[in-house]
Amino acid sequence: MRYSRIQLRGRPVFAEVADGLAHVLDADPITGRAGRTGERVPLAGVDFLPPVIPGVFYAVGFNYRGHVERHRAEAPARPEVGYRANNALTGHRTPIVRPAGVSGRFEAEGEVVAVIGRTLKRASYQEAQASVFGWTIGNDVSAREWQHADRSFWRSKNSDTFKPMGPWIETGVDPLAQTTTVRVDGGIRAGFATGDMIFDPFDFIVETTKYLTMHPGDVLWMGADSTVQLEPGNVVEIEISGIGTLSNPVVAE
């Protein structure tokens, strides 16, 4: 099943995506029992929102072997989460805005995202597997000069529109057996096996929930193998097989 959030007559609603249509739902499918209202909208005309607004927005840094090797970085010894911020979220097809003050590397990273479906603490690996409601796609946009100049990631990774997510949550896919492809203006710029992680999503959930309770709707962005430069005027697409394609134009502020 594929679940999205869409803007309908100025209000956010949940929808099930099937047969080229967004079937409007009467409840949040992550936290409640959701049924179709009967209303449906052709996908081509849908205003996609981020499919979930998390209570906690977890993100992983260096977590792909190739990424660590190319940066000559030390591989992380433990699965330790970091954080991103909800103001930066934006939906499928909406613009990524490069702020006026950004110069230098302005980069996309295509990431598989776990959407948590249960409240869990001290989860076993099997409980972690059962806790994921579904999987979506994130584009972890970074302004690298700010990242190096600032004490935290506040504006380098959390400026408005720096975190496209969507287009929907896919509940029936093995996230570790897929391929991530990043295209800019239709040309392939990066491609990697989604499962080539140092620690997988369930390793992170096990380690995190030793200390932190995770809740339905929390998201965990799993990092990327490769970074891809973006310029205003580009359209960047992140395709993950079995899930879908997240597409966003890049514009200058």
Chain residues in the site for its own copies (CB under 8 A): 53, 55-56, 61, 76, 80-83, 85-88, 99, 121, 150-152, 154-155, 158-160, 208, 210-215
In the chain, where does DSSP find H-type helix?
65-70, 125-131, 144-149, 154-158, 201-208
CB of 39 to its own copies, least distance (A): 27
CB of 83 to its own copies, least distance (A): 5
Query: In the numeric block, which tokens belong to residue 221?
Result: 């962005």
DSSP structural state of residue 156: H
Query: In the numeric block, which tokens belong to residue 121?
Result: 């603490």
CB of 42 to its own copies, least distance (A): 30
For its own copies, which is the closer residue by CB, 36 or 122? 122
Q: What 3-state DSSP class applies to 178?
A: coil
CB of 31 to its own copies, least distance (A): 14
For its own copies, which is the closer residue by CB, 127 or 242? 127
CA distances from residue 100 to 21, 75, 122, 143, 253 in whole angstroms, order as listed: 37, 34, 44, 11, 5
Nearest to 14 by CA among 48, 42, 44, 43: 48
Rounded Cα distance between 108 and 188, Å, is 13
CB of 114 to its own copies, least distance (A): 16
For its own copies, which is the closer residue by CB, 75 or 188? 75
Asked whether 113 and 244 are in contact (CB, 8 A), the reply is no
For its own copies, which is the closer residue by CB, 76 or 191? 76
Per-residue 3-state assignment (H helix, E strand, C coil) for 7-65: EECCEEEEEEEECCEEEEECCCCCCCCCCEEEEEEEHHHCEEECCCCCCCEEECCCCEH
For its own copies, which is the closer residue by CB, 4 or 63? 63
Cis before residue 167, ω within 30 degrees of 0?
Answer: yes
Nearest to 192 by CA among 89, 63, 104: 63
CB of 59 to its own copies, least distance (A): 10
CB of 182 to its own copies, least distance (A): 24
